[in-house]
């Protein structure tokens, strides 16, 4: 049975631009793994349900203003709030699917163009969080993404911001210690993308070792 394949669950992160299709794909992946009898959980960041998440939600909707450093640290704190429960779930054999994680955290802040908010600075609060076993980067052009529903409603959903975000994501892919990142062409149909995602996830679940921390 599925439970015999691995002692611990995998930590699988899905990243990409706004409207790349992350939530749609996380939902499909979650259902596929459940159908295959794997213990699975789906979580997302920002988690807008916690007190910190409510501040983030208000900021993203343009209902409140926050200093760039403050909002950055709130996004990171929102991940640290559940770091222990991610560890606990994984050690119970549950595969945790995460809709956005530290890569979004660092990249969106650095994309603001504030010279005090470099990618290096933005990464530091993430150091020590559980390190993903696999990160699926849903690659899409900002033009394609903009054609999809609901675009332009929240802060950061502008062409110039999305272009900078994409370039920063691509620069992260080049770093040698980010070997867990798998690029998926997300400009295709929902079903085609889902099919491409399942295989690397199942492969990753077979090979999980002890979970490490995100590094500097």
Residues in contact with ligand T5A by the rule CB under 6 A: 16, 18-24, 45-46, 60, 75, 100, 104-105, 108, 148-150, 156, 189-190, 193
Query: How many CB atoms within 10 Å of residue 209?
Result: 8
Token pair of 32 as six digits: 């596929």
Q: Which is nearer to Na ion, 59 or 208 (CB)?
A: 59
91: Cα within 13 Å, side-chain hemisphere:
10
Q: Quick one: which of 23, 50, 158, 163 contacts Na ion (CB under 5 A)?
A: 23
178 near Na ion, rule: CB under 5 A = no
- Alpha carbon dihedral 64, 168, 196, 198, in 10-degree steps, equals -60
User: Is the separation of the CB atoms in 138 and 183 below 8 Å?
Assistant: no
Nearer to Na ion by Cβ, of 11 and 98: the residue is 98
Least spacing, CB of residue 193 vs ligand T5A, in Å: 5
Q: Would you call the peptide bond into 46 cis, given omega within 30 degrees of 0 as the criterion?
A: yes
Task: Tell me the C-alpha distance between 76 and 158, whole Å.
Answer: 23
Q: Which is nearer to ligand T5A, 2 or 73 (CB)?
A: 73
Instruction: Give the shortest CB-183-to-Na ion separation in angstroms.
Output: 18
Q: Select the binding partner of residue 130 from Na ion, ligand T5A, none (C-beta < 5 to 8 A, by kind).
A: none
Closer of 22 and 41 to Na ion (Cβ) = 22
- H or E stretch at 50: none
Under the criterion CB under 5 A, does residue 48 sit at the interface with Na ion?
Answer: no
Q: Which lies closer to ligand T5A via its Cβ, residue 38 or residue 45?
A: 45
State yes or no: residue 156 binds Na ion (CB under 5 A).
no
| Contact in structure between 92 and 9 (CB atoms under 8 Å) | yes
| Interacting residues toward Na ion by CB under 5 A | 22-23
């Amino acid at each position: 049975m599925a439970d015999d394949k691995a002692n611990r669950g995998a930590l699988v992160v899905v990243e990409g631009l706004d409207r790349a299709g992350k939530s749609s794909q996380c939902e499909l992946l979650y259902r596929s793994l459940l159908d295959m009898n794997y213990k699975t959980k789906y979580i997302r960041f920002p988690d807008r349900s916690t007190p910190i998440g409510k501040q983030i939600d208000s900021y993203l909707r343009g209902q409140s203003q926050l200093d760039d450093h403050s909002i950055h640290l709130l996004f990171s704190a929102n991940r640290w709030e559940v770091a222990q429960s991610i560890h606990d779930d994984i050690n119970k054999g549950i595969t945790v699917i995460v809709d956005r994680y530290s890569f979004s955290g660092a990249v969106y802040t650095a994309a603001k163009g504030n010279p005090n908010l470099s990618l290096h600075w933005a990464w530091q609060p993430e150091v020590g969080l559980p390190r993903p076993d696999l990160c699926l980067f849903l690659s899409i052009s900002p033009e394609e993404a903009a054609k999809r529903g609901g675009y332009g409603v929240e802060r950061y959903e502008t062409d110039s911001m999305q272009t900078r975000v994409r370039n920063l994501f691509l620069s992260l892919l080049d770093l040698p210690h980010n070997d867990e990142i798998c690029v998926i062409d997300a400009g295709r149909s929902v079903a085609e993308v889902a099919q491409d995602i399942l295989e690397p996830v199942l492969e990753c679940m077979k090979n999980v070792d002890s979970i490490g921390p995100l590094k500097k």
